[in-house]
Amino acid sequence: MSKSVYMILNGELIPESAAAISPLNRGLMYGDGCFETLRSYSGKFLGWNDHIDRLSAGLDYLNIQAPFSSKELKEQVEKLLKQNQLKHAEAMIRIQCWRNGGRGYTPSSKNAQWMIQASKQQTERKDLKLSIAQTRCIPSEALERKHKLSNGLNYIKAAQEAAKRSCDDALMFTVDDKVSETTSANIFWIKEDKVYTPSTKCDLLPGVTRLLVLDVIRSLGLEFEESEYLLSDIRQAEAVFCTNSLMEIAEVLSLDEIRFEVNHPLVMKIKAGFDQMKVKEFQQ
């Protein structure tokens, strides 16, 4: 018999199979909520405060009251990791919040429901195949891009495009053709010993790992630039890599028919610097 997988639902530790949520909830009906996904390294976390600050900012943006403090949330995560026998393993943590209330675009409540899930994290690193998505990023003027909001339909459509082309992820663009992000990661590239990445003006989610990688790049004294770029710029790259909190740094093998160098010396240097940063962080 397989062991039960547990979750936290509104502060209660229960088997996932026993979870009961009303179908008349605003998270399901409207995506009226936000979430964070992060990685547990044997019970330790990179950028915990950054993740929780972004979750809190997302709730503020939606005018939802946070149902927990950072300290209370970490205690709940640690309890769940222990229950799921993941305290000494690599694990994926997802924290999801959504607003109480029923139908109608005008909310009647600021109160939230919430859940935490924890599952084993795959640690094998994989080179990515990307395709160019026709689905565009939502402009910040339409929906604030700094938060991980629950409505991800444009990401879903772009990911479906990538799957049809047998690719791992899709490179997305702004409505005015600037390189932005993939459906699940921020993107960087190397050309002539310089690192490039789209700026936050490009309707991207500024990931926690993106910020950590930028810190590593600065600490290594590498030349880098954040700006607005076109597809032609990334087509000329020597090497490309993506970042998020689960896969950390993943090299890109190809963008449709264009192939990039893997194990590029500068990317290897950034990866090594990231690993050293983790060691220092976890020793504190």
Tell me what the mean pLDDT of segment 203-228 comes to.
97
Helices 208-219 + 265-283 axis angle, to 10 = 110
- Both 147 and 116 in one domain: the answer is no
**The predicted structure's pLDDT at residue 102:** 85
- Both 172 and 53 in one domain: the answer is no
**212-222 confidence digits (pLDDT tens):** 999 999 999 99
Distance CA 252, CA 259 (A): 8
Q: What would the two tokens of residue 118 be?
A: 């924890």
Q: Is the pLDDT of residue 4 over 90?
A: no
**The predicted structure's pLDDT at residue 23:** 84
Tell me what the mean pLDDT of segment 184-191 comes to.
98
Answer whether residue 1 is part of any domain.
no
Cβ atoms 212, 274 nearer than 8 A: yes
**87-128 confidence digits (pLDDT tens):** 999 999 999 999 998 889 999 899 999 999 999 998 778 899
- Both 274 and 190 in one domain: the answer is yes
pTM above 0.85, yes or no: yes
**11-32 confidence digits (pLDDT tens):** 999 999 999 988 888 999 999 9
- CB within 8 Å of 267: residues ≥ 6 apart: 190, 239, 241, 249, 251
- Both 99 and 137 in one domain: the answer is no
- Both 153 and 273 in one domain: the answer is yes
Q: Is the pLDDT of residue 239 over 60?
A: yes
Question: Confidence class of residue 51 from pLDDT cuts 50, 70 and 90?
Answer: very high
Question: Confidence class of residue 283 from pLDDT cuts 50, 70 and 90?
Answer: confident
- Both 83 and 141 in one domain: the answer is no
- Both 138 and 202 in one domain: the answer is yes
- Both 245 and 108 in one domain: the answer is no
Number of domains composing the chain: 2
- Both 82 and 175 in one domain: the answer is no
Instruction: Look up the domain containing 211 and give its range.
Output: 128-283
Residue among 280, 15, 257 at smallest CA distance from 131? 257
- Both 109 and 202 in one domain: the answer is no
Q: Tell me the average pLDDT of the chain.
A: 95
Answer whether residue 256 is part of any domain.
yes
DSSP symbols for 215-229: HHHHHTT-EEEEE--
We report the CATH number of the domain holding residue 115 as: 3.30.470.10
**The predicted structure's pLDDT at residue 41:** 95
**The predicted structure's pLDDT at residue 1:** 35
- Both 161 and 270 in one domain: the answer is yes
H/E run at residue 82: helix 70-83
Of 96, 120, 144, the residue at which a domain comes to its end is: 120
**The predicted structure's pLDDT at residue 259:** 97
Q: Is the pLDDT of residue 62 over 60?
A: yes
**Other Cβ atoms within 10 Å of 6 Cβ, number:** 23
**132-182 confidence digits (pLDDT tens):** 999 999 999 999 999 999 989 999 999 999 999 999 999 999 999 999 999
